[in-house]
Structure 1
Amino acid sequence: MAPHLMEEDHLFTAQDEIWVDLKIEAEQMAAETAGDRDLDLLGRELLPKFLEATILRCNSLEECLATHLSQKLGWSAAPAERWYSVLLTAFREGRSANGERVGDLIRRDLVVVKERDPACPTLAHALLHYKGYQGLQVYRAANWLWRKGQTSLASIFQSRASEVFGMDIHPAARIGWGIMIDHGTGVVIGETAVVGNGCSLLHGVTLGGTGKEAGDRHPKLGCEVLVGAGASILGNVKIGDGAKIGAAAVVLSDIPAHVTAVGCPAKVIGRAKEENPAKSMDHSCSLVELFRSRTRPLCPFRKLDSQQKGYLGPHEFLTQLQTACQVKISSSEASELFFKMDSDHDGQLTEEEFNKNLPVCVEAFRPPRKQ
């Protein structure tokens, strides 16, 4: 079986386990139509010929992926062989901004698609048919070109990938390893965006700016973040490790680590129970420790105890904190502090938890003394 995500770089060869698995899967797929007499000769030959051209005649994953993608990207003015040579060089020799080999990254991305998508039967299926995976690998080649100073050539890759795969990733964006972009359609990732290792993004996700501002203007996702379909994260905001962003959410401010945020504008409704939401791919409220409200549950799928005492949730915490410190505190600063103080991880602060940490909070937010 193909290995799981690895923490350290590993020098893959043409005979690595993932490539061996792909060849075996392709041979099994090629045999599917062999005995089907309901298909005419051309029909029985179609799948084996396709697999022969894309996987079976190749000697490595780099060669296979470059062959497959170049056929998709090429057109009369720029035929496939020209794309192939650049893609193959990028996959064999390229490195990311953090120094990882692009050859390692294309493997790690492939493994997580198979691990996370229940509709994906094999690694070969993901490589051949999943445009989210394919478009991400074109970005990896474009990113390598961009950082080499070949910005015009990188922009051609971005533009053509947008036309072919329906996803638009700026070559200068920084995207980590073990990334899953499910379906891919409508995904937009801006120039200064950062996507940490192990994240999962569904279709229609936008990591964009808020207007015509220049400079560092796009979102920064931590590691193992799950972003639901149609969500828009706008501006230079930070999304903490292990956070869950609900489908169609519009995020305009920082989101702390290991929480769930939904709505427009997005608000934190609870803590994510999973250690790695991007791997579990759960988009329901079943794995969310929801904050309690005095008047009603924040989610229709669970009944909550509205009588439990304590400072209920980050909003009330912010009010109490500002009163105690006698200064204005931003909601993002308060949210980050709230989750550090919530020692039992139940989505609320008891009076004991609040008072225990209050002296440190007051000192941290105390206005500087005038000299």
Structure 2
Amino acid sequence: MAEAAMMASETLWQKIRDEAQRTAAADAIFGKALVGLILVHDDFTAALSDLIGRRLGDSEVERARFTTFSRDAFNGQPDLIEAAGRDLQAIVLGDPAISGVLAPLLHLKGYVALQAWRVSNWLWHHDRGDAALLFQNEASNVLQVSIHPAASLGSSVYLDHATGIVIGADVVIGDEATILQNVSIGRGTELPARSPRIGRGVFIGSGATILGNVRIGDFAKIGADTVVTSDVPRGCTAIGNPARLTNCPEPASAA
């Protein structure tokens, strides 16, 4: 598994470097920035760690701290880099406005926020809770994305536009999910409080709210500004407040 992850990371890194070199050759001014952001680094781990440090740290000391934490996480668990690569490629596959891997890596804050969460999650599970919460706090302040370190997200996840996203502790989100801006996912008011479980390939529209002990089935869609407090079956679309179901592959009761 570690060897396969390394090979995938190396292939992606070569694509990033190739794009950076072509861009630098075409634009001398931006090319100077690309040397420090991409071309000076030896691998994807180093470049991504540095990028997280640059985005979260507002001083040289803080930048170095966030970079070091990120490098420790990626080196300590190589499949995090594989997941980061899948997240990047999911953006290219899912967004027709994106044609390469360099632009989303450098310019989409949702991507950086997601990778910062991956580092925070690693820290959380290695008894470094204060550092994990520091990542969450800075990602919230700087990138306007707050994902609790105790949440669980799969790979090939796309945080599109990525402003005002809040994902609480113990939320589970599967692979290939797409989440737009101003989405809140977290515990409800029931006791004991439980968090949503969201399946694979789920699309969550802007302004949606998903609360409590609910299950969102694979490939379901949650419409813009929808409020979900009950289960949404696989493949169904939930719309409105309170949510109602439509376009279900099989007959389903109201949400």
Whether TM exceeds 0.5 here: the answer is yes
Q: Which residue of 2 aligns with 1:65?
A: 48
Structure-2 separation of matches of 1:221 and 1:9? 30
Q: Which amino acid aligns with 1:175?
A: L
CA contact (8 A) 1:14 1:59 kept: no
Q: Secondary structure at the match of 1:233?
A: strand
Largest Rg, 1 or 2 = 1
Which of 161, 181, 192 is residue 183 of structure 1 equivalent to? 161
Q: Does 1:239 align with 2:216?
A: yes
Give the unaligned 5+ runs of structure 2. none
Is the contact made by 1:260 and 1:271 (CA closer than 8 Å) also made in structure 2? yes
Once the two structures are superposed, the pairs formed by residues 157-168 of structure 1 within 5 Å of their partners are 157-168=135-146
Q: Does structure 1 residue 209 correspond to structure 2 residue 187?
A: yes
Assess, with a 3 A threshold, how the Cα gap between structure 1 residues 176 and 28 changes in structure 2: closer, same or farther. same
Aligned partners of 1:31, 1:214: CA distance in 2, in Å?
60
Task: Answer whether contact 1:9 1:104 (CA < 8 A) is retained.
Answer: no
In structure 2, distance between residues paired with 1:84 and 1:210: 35
Q: Equivalent of 1:55, from 30, 33, 38? A: 38
Cα distance, 1:221 vs. partner?
0.1
Residue 225 of structure 1: which of 197, 202, 208 is its match?
Answer: 202
Aligned to 1:94: 77
In structure 2, the partner of 1:29 is 23
The residue type paired with residue 232 of structure 1 is: T
Question: 1:271 is paired with a residue of what secondary structure?
Answer: coil
| Alpha-carbon distance, 1:92 to partner | 1.9
Q: Measure how far apart 1:33 and its partner are.
A: 2.4
Picking from 176, 182, 194, the partner of 1:198 is: 176
Assess, with a 3 A threshold, how the Cα gap between structure 1 residues 227 and 9 changes in structure 2: closer, same or farther: farther
2:14 maps to 1:20: yes
Cα deviation, 1:99-147, whole Å, max 9, x if unaligned, reads xx11111111111011101121210101000011110000000000001
- Call closer, same or farther: CA 1:176–1:270 in 2, change over 3 Å: same
- Shift, 1:214, TM fit: 6.6
Letter in 2 for 1:26: A
Which structure 2 residues correspond to residues 1-371 of structure 1 after superposition, within 5 A? Answer: 10-13=4-7, 16-34=10-28, 45=29, 47-76=30-59, 78-94=61-77, 101-211=79-189, 216-271=193-248, 314-315=252-253
Mark the CA change 1:208 to 1:9 in structure 2 (over 3 Å): closer, same or farther: farther
Aligned residue type for 2:218: D
User: How many residues in Structure 1 have an aligned counterpart in Structure 2?
Assistant: 255
TM-score by length of 1: 0.65
Does the 8 Å CA contact 2:220/2:235 hold for their aligned counterparts? yes
- Structure 1 unaligned residues grouped into runs of 5+: 1-6, 35-44, 96-100, 273-290, 292-312, 316-330, 333-371
Paired AA for residue 80 in structure 1: R
Measured at CA, do residues 192 and 93 of structure 1 come closer, stay the same or move farther in structure 2, by a change above 3 Å? same
- The runs of at least 4 consecutive aligned structure 1 residues that moved more than 6 Å come to none
Distance 1:8 1:246, change over 3 A: farther
Secondary structure, in 3 states, of the residue corresponding to 1:204? coil
Distance 1:15 1:163, change over 3 A: closer
Cα pair 2:25 2:31 within 8 Å, conserved: yes
Report the structure, 1 or 2, having the larger helix content: 2
Bigger RCO of structures 1 and 2 (CA < 8 A, at least 6 apart): 2
State how far apart, in whole Å, the 2-side matches of 1:168 and 1:214 are: 24
Q: How much identity, in percent, do the aligned residues show?
A: 36
**TM (normalized to structure 2)?**
0.93
The residue type equivalent to 1:23 in the other structure is R
